Structure 1
Amino acid sequence: MRQASLLKPAPASKIHPLPVTASLPWVQVAPDAPYFITEDGQPWTPIGQNDAITWPELEGLFRRKDLQAVEEYLAYLAEHGVTCLRLMLEYAQVKHRYFEKPAGTFNPRMVQLWDDLFALCAKYGLRILLTPYDTFWMWLKWKYHPYNKQLGGPCAGRGQWLLCPDTMKAIKARLTFVIERWGGSGVLFAWDLWNEMHPAHMGNSSAGFAAAATELSQHVRDLELRLYGRSHPQTVSIFGPILHTHPDTADTIFRHPLLDFANTHFYDAKTIDYPKNTVDSAIKVGELVREALEHAPENRPFFDSEHGPIHLFKDKKHTLAPEFDDEYFRHIQWAHLASGAAGGGMRWPNRHPHTLTPGMRVAQKNMAGFLNLIHWPTFRRKNLNQEIKLSQPAFAVFGCADDQQAVVWLLRTDALYQRKRLMNPEASPLSVEVQIPGLRDGHFQITTWNTLEGVMREQFQVEAQHGICRFTVPEVRTDVAIAVVKVSA
């Protein structure tokens, strides 16, 4: 048994000092809005996806096999408006990417990998949403994991991960190591303290959710405050359907007083997981964002940090055609943003290989361009998917607003072709009148945005009266995004 080594790092001779890298401003929650800003007051939006240290674009980090390829990839992301990668500290699908082996001994090769990744991300202005364990593969391949008691680890069974005191000590020791080595960097956007917290991780009961989140949160924040005088934002993610089977978990995921923002994983069996067309999944995302915002405190940011065609890919062994997947991806990200979430959501690739397509990168870049039209640090949005009125029944509407600004996305539901799977770019155009309630009377600037090309369509001013902002968008063939901003008197 090696339990005596649980709190011991690898020998100092094997882990070199952290290299000096360029710094980035830390990200924090805006004080007056459910979005993010940097410490110098600039708006910051998480645009990105899930990545992994074993997937093609980052695999060159391990043993420094191809750092130039990794750098070129990160530069490409930055050029396409990406601001954030969601990453797990280890990837337990294979035996050579454990962060500790044995438990409590930190792998020098993995430490070097993360040193290099933090340095490269700083160079290109990218940040990381970091979660300390790959709980999916850790669960499936538990018999190989260094935390398994049979291998000298602290835990007798995977159902005790968040109940076993020795395992919690090991978790805290890992977090301590990461905080001491990389926690002072602005590259670290935020902590996802536990990936997809699940009743199965604590004796098939959800009763311990709040206690586990509290223990992890306090450990991380107390240490960061002691070392750096401030702390990074925190969340705990969940596999979305668990909220319906164990509704009490919403108290932790959305409303825990120590967490800074809310995070769920958007999976829906009939639409997102197994898309039949590119419209239904977007509509479901709009419903899920609205549901999430109804749970969360009104000034707490929310975004989906995992979604994708998981059932189609994992169970049906099918990779979507790029043309279809690009549109499915683009529609989901606009439904997410316009419904009131921060950014466009974070896709789990669910492709072979695990990479996003060039078309998805263009979609991210086009959304990044739109973000400049809204002043996010003061946008106290409420979801209005059901309250916005349209003159045309042929559109699904996604929108959010406060009394000064609004974001709206309109998606045609009657323009599918090719066996009703993809949008028809040659569909007969429709003009549509939009009525947004709750805006303060006065003049507003309306900017319509071509989401496919990432350019402004038209810009004009209207006057809101009696709490309604009414305007007409001409000739919409498939979809259009709209920014509504009050004009100063």
Structure 2
Amino acid sequence: MTGAPPGLPWIEVAAGAPYFQDQTGASWHPVGQNDSIDWPELAPLFRRRDLPAVERHLRWLKANGVTCLRLMLEDARGRHRFLEKPAGRFVPAMVQVWDDLFALCEKVGLYILLTPLDTFWMWMRWKQHPWNVANGGPLATMREALLSAETRVAVKARLDFAISRWGGSGALFAWDLWNEIHPAHARDDASCFGEVIDDLSRHVRMREQELHGRSHLQTVSIYGPELRWKPDQPLQEPIFRHPALDFATIHIYRERSIDDPRNTVAPARAMGEIVRECLAEITDGRPFLDTEHGPIHSFKDRRVTLPEPFDDEYFRHMSWAHLASGGAGGGMRWPNRHPHVLTPGMRVVQRAMTGFLPLIDWRSFRRRNVCVEGAAKGHHLFACGDKRQAIAWLLRARSLAEDGRMRRDVPARPAVLTLPMADGAVQVTEWDTTGGAVVRVSEQAVRDGELRYETTPFVADMALAITATP
């Protein structure tokens, strides 16, 4: 018996394009954030304290354009949200949490990106975790988590339980088979990553096929800075090109910009650069998306919650930089706030982005990053495109106020955008990323392989959807 009856269409990779669609063929985009069963908005699920409140919250998310939440099967920070206790015994109250959440997501129409292990807090609070051998578990140290045969059995048993109970639900978008896979989980040697991914992937697909006749999408995440910090480790191949995985993801952080922002422009530029670098690593056209970002150093180490107006703009800039640079959706924020939730202003950003998405035919959009090939003098350009379609986001340069946000007291001015495209007629739709509305729709000719377009005047930023006309 499953915890949620099938109902939502399953999500799959679009045929021939690096984006997603549901099984009916409709385009689907991961717009959402990281959440936890122990954070304020979902906490009432535990012991069914207030299921109507959670349903109201999920409906509010849906109304604001959210499609997906990224969640871990347990919250290992404390002692009362372990999925198993002791190892191998699934806690009834936690199973009920997931039964109810899957049922509510099916009812409301939201999807879950699910990862079985909370590896960060397992590492930080290892002494208390049920999988610790000292507590009757299979593992002596997290430094052998990827190497231990007994732990591999335990991971598969946890996945088997989840697959049998919730794997038949369309509300399951995808599996993140190992949250933030790390060389430290294998005594500082990433050479085992490929084998681990292959083994877990085959196990999950086989079990899903046996029980449900099909399988959900799969990925594996990594803490993004490790790709730069550990050039001697074989990290790129398993993360971006492993043949068993359906899409690629990293957690996008960068020191002194994304991690600890002092203005709202540097993080956007870092996001765009990192997405461009990641797309260059992918050789088979699979989708790419960020599944965790945010001001982690500001919040966790400096104990600073960013001022809400600043954080809302930071969030908006990060989201549009991700989408326009070629990522699927707007990236998935880790809240890093007190309280640990996204602000109402961030929901406005998500709603505005969801309004923009139908302007592109994603199932035929074989994009590549064209930030370097394009230009928009006086503006930071984030763009991706193919011969017939393009997305661009323009962010005014050298226009920061003292508080690190974009100035709003300057005259509006147009931008002149150039992008590589096939010759012919195109329709250009200008989009207000703050208000979530069309600014202008116009026809333009592309000549000599280059679109040259002058926008209407704007103060801070503008998004554009460009599509070839018959």
TM-score with structure 2 length normalisation?
Answer: 0.98
The number of residue pairs the alignment matches comes to 468
Q: Which amino acid counterpart does residue 292 of structure 1 have in structure 2?
A: C
Equivalent residue, structure 2, for 1:56: 40
From the superposition, tell whether residues 275 and 19 of structure 1 become closer, same or farther in structure 2 (CA, over 3 Å).
closer
The answer (yes or no) to whether the contact 1:237–1:263 under 8 Å persists in 2 is yes
Please list, as runs of the form range in 1=range in 2, the aligned pairs for 1:162-181 lying within 5 A after superposition.
162-181=146-165
CA contact (8 A) 1:415 1:477 kept: no
Residue equivalent to 1:14: none
Corresponding position: 1:444 with 2:426: yes
Check the 8 A contact 1:22/1:123 in 2, yes or no.
no
The Cα shift of 1:469 comes to 1.4
Return the offset for 1:425.
2.1
Which of 417, 432, 455 is the aligned partner of 2:415?
432
Paired residue for 1:128?
A: 112
Q: Offset at 1:399?
A: 0.1
Deviation, 1:298, is: 4.6
SS at match of 2:40: coil
Q: Is the 8 A contact 1:431 1:473 kept in 2?
A: yes
Partners in 2 of 1:321 and 1:243 — Cα distance? 31
Q: CA RMSD in A?
A: 1.0
Asked if residue 339 in structure 1 is aligned to residue 325 in structure 2, the reply is yes
Q: Which segment is superposed worse, 52-61 or 421-430? A: 421-430
Match of 2:339 among 328, 346, 353: 353
1:235 — aligned with what?
Answer: 219
Q: Does 1:202 align with 2:189?
A: no
Deviation at 1:203, TM superposition (A): 1.2
Instruction: After TM superposition, list the pairs within 5 Å mapping 1:237-256 onto structure 2.
Output: 237-247=221-231, 248-256=234-242
Aligned partner of residue 260 in structure 2, secondary structure = coil
Question: How far apart are the structure 1 equivalents of 2:404 and 2:355?
Answer: 27
* Cα contact 1:447–1:456 (8 A) shared by 2: yes
> What is the identity, as a one-letter code, of the residue corresponding to 1:435?
T
Instruction: Supply the distance in 1 between the matched residues of 2:408 and 2:45 (Cα, whole angstroms).
Output: 41
Give the equivalent residue in structure 2 for 1:384.
370
Show the counterpart of 1:362: 348
Aligned identity (percent) is: 53
Distance 2:410 2:111 in 1: 40
Question: In structure 2, do the counterparts of structure 1 residues 254 and 20 end up closer, same or farther at CA, with 3 Å as the change threshold?
Answer: closer
Deviation at 1:140, TM superposition (A): 0.6
Supply the distance in 1 between the matched residues of 2:131 and 2:294 (Cα, whole angstroms): 30
Kept after mapping to 1: 8 A contact 2:6/2:170? no
Query: SS of 1:430's equivalent?
Result: coil
Give CA-to-partner distance per residue, 1:448-484, whole Å, 9 cap, x none. 0000000000000011112111111021210000000
- Give the match for residue 142 of structure 1: 126
Q: Per the alignment, do residues 68 and 203 of structure 1 end up closer, same or farther by CA in structure 2, a change over 3 Å counting? A: same
For residues 336 and 49 of structure 2, what CA distance do their matches in structure 1 show?
Answer: 25
For structure 1, which segment, 238-247 or 334-343, has the greater mean C-alpha deviation from structure 2 after superposition? 238-247
Shift of 1:22: 5.7
CA deviation string 1:200-227 (max 9, x = no partner): 1111111111111111111111111222
CA offsets 1:347-375 (integer angstroms, 9 cap, x no match) = 00000111000000000000000001001
State the AA in 1 paired with 2:220. V
Aligned match for 2:208, one of 214, 224, 227: 224
Shift of 1:18: 3.7
> Residue 5 of structure 2 contacts residue 168 of structure 2 at CA under 8 Å; is this kept in 1?
no
- How far apart are 1:255 and its partner, in Å? 0.4
* 1:4 matched residue in structure 2: none
Q: Shift of residue 443 of structure 1?
A: 0.8
CA contact (8 A) 2:428 2:466 kept: yes
Counterpart CA distance in 2 for 1:263 and 1:22 is 27
Q: 2:258 aligns with which of 272, 276, 283?
A: 272
Moved more, 163-172 or 467-476: 467-476
Contact 2:66–2:350 (Cα < 8 Å) also in 1: yes
CA drift of 1:228 comes to 2.0
Q: Which moved more, 1:468-477 or 1:120-129?
A: 468-477
Which residue number in structure 1 is paired with residue 450 of structure 2?
Answer: 468
- Alpha-carbon distance, 1:297 to partner: 2.2
> Contact (CA 8 Å) 1:22, 1:119: kept in 2 or not?
no
Provide the C-alpha distance between the structure 2 equivalents of 1:86 and 1:311, rounded to a whole number of angstroms: 21
CA distance in 2, matches of 1:263, 1:165: 26
Deviation at 1:259, TM superposition (A): 0.4
Match of residue 361 from structure 2: 375
Give the corresponding residue for 2:400.
Answer: 416
DSSP 3-state at the match of 1:33: coil
**C-alpha contact (below 8 Å) 1:285/1:332 kept by paired residues:** yes
Moved over 4 A (4+): none
Question: Which deviations, in whole Å up to 9, do the C-alpha atoms of 1:109-130 show, x marking residues without a partner?
Answer: 1111000000100111100000
Give ranges in structure 2 of 5+ residues lacking alignment: none
1 CA distance for matches of 2:251 and 2:4?
Answer: 35
Distance 1:344 1:176 in 2: 31
Q: Which amino acid aligns with 1:160?
A: E
Q: 1:375 to 1:355 in 2, by over 3 A?
A: same
Conserved 8 A contact 1:34-1:298: no
User: Kindly tell me: are residues 264 and 183 of structure 1, through their superposed partners in 2, closer, same or farther at Cα, counting changes over 3 Å?
Assistant: same
Deviations along 1:316-340, one digit per CA (max 9) or x if unpaired, are: 0000010000000000000000000
Which structure 1 residue ranges, 5 or more long, are not aligned? Answer: 1-16
- Residue type of the partner of 1:208? C
> 1:460 corresponds to which letter in structure 2?
S
In 2, the alpha carbon distance for the partners of 1:426 and 1:44 equals 38
- Out of 44, 47, 51, the residue aligned to residue 67 of structure 1 is 51
Deviating more after overlay: 111-120 vs 18-27: 18-27
